[in-house]
Structure 1
Amino acid sequence: MKSQFGERVRELREKQNLYLRQVAPLLEMDTAQLSKIEKGSRLLKRDQIPVLAEILKADSNELLVLWLADQLYEVVKDEDVALKAMDAAQETLKSNKRNKRNK
């Protein structure tokens, strides 16, 4: 699977001239696990995103958005009505935000 999150992590890591073997222990994992995350065949735990963002000097929200996008894609990728379902979910999110602001 192509992973937006993994590709961005690799890009940021390489931009910092860091090796997998340098970053992986900081996330309490081995290099093979981090490599799989970058390739999109394994997911990083959500609570590790801020740690990774700090290591890579990246925006935590940007990484979280890409991480969530990859997860959403995995859920709907084989569905013919995936885009309609995503639109419906977006409307629900917008409605819930409006309701929270009005309280």
Structure 2
Amino acid sequence: MVFSERLKELREQKGLLQRQLASALEIDTPMYSRIERGERKAKREQVILLAKLLETAERELIQLWLADKVYDVLAEEDCASGVLNMVAESIREYGK
């Protein structure tokens, strides 16, 4: 849940309230709070908007958001490290 922790940290650094970000995302405050606690996943469009609102690098937030998604899929797998290595190799060979 590195995305949610970073999100809270950035919001607090900016002195913003959860309700302010929730309003900008057009969601209610409890839903935003769940995103910040890692209980609900933000949508990609929301992550991009949050980067703008929090004046931080979009790439950083997208990477943290994606890392959380990968973690959710692989966390309980015994072969997680091997899978990640295979994916990294595939990206190097075929990816962008």
For 1:46 and 1:21, the matched residues in 2 are separated by 20
2:48 is equivalent to residue 50 of structure 1? yes
Task: Count how many residue pairs are aligned between Structure 1 and Structure 2.
Answer: 96
Point out where structure 2 has 5 or more consecutive residues left out of the alignment: none
- The structure 2 residue matched to 1:91, chosen from 60, 66, 89, is 89
Structure 1 residue runs of 5 or longer lacking an equivalent are none
Corresponding residue number in structure 1 for 2:9: 11
- % identical aligned pairs: 42
The separation in 1 between residues aligned to 2:88 and 2:43, in whole angstroms, is 24
Corresponding residue for residue 33 of structure 2: 35
Q: CA RMSD in A?
A: 1.0
The runs of 4+ residues in structure 1 deviating greater than 6 Å are none
Could you state the TM-score of these two structures normalised by the residue count of structure 1?
0.90
Mapped to 2, the partners of 1:28 and 1:96 lie a distance apart of 38
- Larger Rg computed on CA atoms: 1
